[in-house]
Amino acid sequence: MASARHVTVTKRIHLISGPRNISTALMYSFGNREDCRVIDEPMYAVYLSKHAVEHPGREETLASLSSDMKEVKNNVILAPYNSELLFIKNMAHHFIDVDHSFIYTLDNVFLIRNPKQLIASFAQVISTPTMQDIGLEKEYQLFQDIASKNNKPPIVLDSGLLLQNPKAVLQSLCAQLDIPFHDSMLSWKAGPRKEDGVWAKYWYANVHKSTGFSPQKTSSRDLPTHLEELYLKAKVYYDKLYKHAIRN
């Protein structure tokens, strides 16, 4: 993170992702820049406080973060920081039943993943995920809303394309964000980071073993039969977003 004094945030990069999309790896990538501070899912407790979903570490998460959306917005997302760049990682489904008008002032980046892989991975933690859990429908709704406000589609990253050629895709991403690319974004030390949320022990096992962008062996796991219907519905939204994704 930036250590220079009297530095203020000039760009707030706002990642809107579904779960199990390598979003934490992307957060680590930006966290490895000297000019960037990262924030891990500041709206998680807001979501849990509004929805009776059984997530591992639910009570720990509620105790660690504010569940007041106004406070999260003003004191975390839009707060001053001693860093030129701020990277905020958020989950699309955390925006359900939330006023999201503040995102129009941010540099939004949407991260998507083939829903067959996404759902199969998510099911390892929560066995019967719903469309709300995986966030793809909400992600597409937010994408359309931002596009209509800005008269152009926001940036989209596909995790599969990113893993094929991390450097090329990250260079294109930085160019679209109008920031320089740093080679430090391509690798990081294995293990947890101080920015991790308290839920990391339930969700971040794979990324903690990683030192860079690389496909996981688990990416080829089979989709459970009972989740095929969810996959087909999710694929509709994925395909609409994928056509906007940065190509390597």
How many other C-beta atoms lie within 10 A of the C-beta of residue 89?
25
> Could you give the angle at the alpha carbon of 159 between the alpha carbons of 158 and 162, nearest 5°?
90
Averaging pLDDT over each range in 56-60, 73-77, 149-153, which range is the top one?
A: 73-77
pTM to 2 decimals?
0.93
- What per-residue confidence (pLDDT) applies to 217? 60
CB 136 within 8 A of CB 112: yes
pLDDT of residue 221: 76
CA dist 150 and 177 (Å) reads 15
Give 2's pLDDT tier (boundaries 50, 70, 90): very low
In sequence order, the β-bridge partners of residue 187 are: 212
Which of 155-164, 172-181, 209-218, 229-238 is predicted with the least confidence, judged by mean pLDDT?
209-218
148-196 confidence digits (pLDDT tens): 998 889 999 999 999 999 999 999 999 999 999 999 999 999 999 999 9
Per the document, the length of the chain is: 248
Q: Tens digit of pLDDT for each residue in 125-143?
A: 888 889 998 999 999 999 9
SS3 of 175-224: the string is HHHCCCCCHHHHECCCCCCCCCCCCHHHHCHHHHHCCECCCCHHHHCCCC
Q: Does domain 11-242 have CATH number 1.10.287?
A: no
- For 27-55, how does the pLDDT look when each residue is reduced to its tens digit (9 = 90+)? 999 999 999 999 999 999 999 999 988 88
Q: What is residue 184's predicted lDDT score, i.e. its pLDDT?
A: 97
Domain positions in the chain are 11-242
